[in-house]
Amino acid sequence: MTIAAAELDSREEALARVAREAGELARELFSKPIEIKLKGKQDYITEADGQVERMIVERLKERFPGDAFLGEEGGASGNADALSDAVWVIDPIDDTANFAHRMPHFCVSIAFLSAGELALGAIAAPMYGELYRARAGRGAYLNNRAMRVADTDIKQAVIELGWSSRRPTRTYTSLVERVLATGATFLRAGSGALGLAYVADGRTHGYCELHINSWDTLAGLLMVREAGGWTNDFLAGQGLERGNAVLACAPGLKDALVAATGVGQANEKLERRIS
Ligand code: IPD
């Protein structure tokens, strides 16, 4: 069941406050010596991830005890019955590798889904003093400025291509080759959430990754849509629980990038159902 507008208003207000506060905590922890571990190949976890996530979940649970929560580190918690109605999806630090290596390109990303649809998103990039936010149907903002995607010729486009060890290396190198063949260039700055926020703000023109988790993407996907961009149907199948491929871009680049990346083709859902 979709939640009422007034209930969404209070969640929107709480989200901005909690995202800002979580960003501040992450910034404080960034300057301290911190324990770093590997969860998998090039997949980092620090003490800060757990601390920031616990803080976010505690604050939001206090205000909205009937909601469900899905966090990168803590998994599912809260009211399990609300999983299909009111769910917060939280990445305490994205990209943890940048954070662990003392690089400032990281953020806190929080999304809220109402009845399975993206309703709210916030991304705090504390080292840059940036708070990105979006509400479905009401636009996307960076601090207090409205964001807009930047359409450009594919030959002038900058496309971020995310990487993780969850997919074989050759699928990434082949993706890079196919995107370069369109005439666009590519970069990999590390944070999927910030990569999507940059598309929404017209700094880059597209973001693609062959597998990414929902906590890394949902807030940014709402921002791209609200800023006039196009995104694939990330939540199709079990996107929320298991992640999916993602493609988000300025609308004029959609055809070229769908063809080059293979993400977002009309038959994609069907293929996923069959496999
Ligand atoms: C990672 C980052 C990275 C993306 C990976 C994610 P984490 O998230 O978002 O940009 O390419 O797929 O796993 O582990 O740093 O939160």
Q: For residue range 159-203, list pLDDT tens digits in order.
A: 999 999 999 999 999 999 999 999 999 999 999 999 999 999 999
Read off the tokens for 78: 């809260």
Which pTM was predicted?
0.94
pLDDT the model gives residue 268: 61
pLDDT of 272 strictly over 60: no
- Does any ligand 1 atom lie closer than 6 A to the CB of residue 160? no
Single-letter code of the amino acid located at 197: A
CA nearest neighbour of 97 among 54, 48, 55, 133: 48
DSSP-H helix ranges across 84-145: 96-100
Average the pLDDT over each of 25-34, 104-113, 230-239, 266-275 and give the range with the smallest value: 266-275
Host H or E run for residue 18: helix 5-30
- Does any ligand 1 atom lie closer than 6 A to the CB of residue 94? yes
Residue nearest (by alpha carbon) to ligand 1 atom 15: 95
- Does any ligand 1 atom lie closer than 6 A to the CB of residue 164? yes
3-state secondary structure of 123: strand
pLDDT the model gives residue 273: 41
Residue 241 CB neighbour total at 10 angstroms:
11
Read off the tokens for 69: 């929560």
| Ligand 1 centroid distance, CA of 253 (Å) | 24
What's the pLDDT tens digit per position in 116-147?
999 999 999 999 999 999 999 999 999 999 99
Whether the CB-CB separation of 224 and 231 falls below 8 Å is answered with yes
Average the pLDDT over each of 27-31, 70-74, 224-228 and give the range with the smallest value: 70-74
CA nearest neighbour of 87 among 107, 108, 60, 62: 60
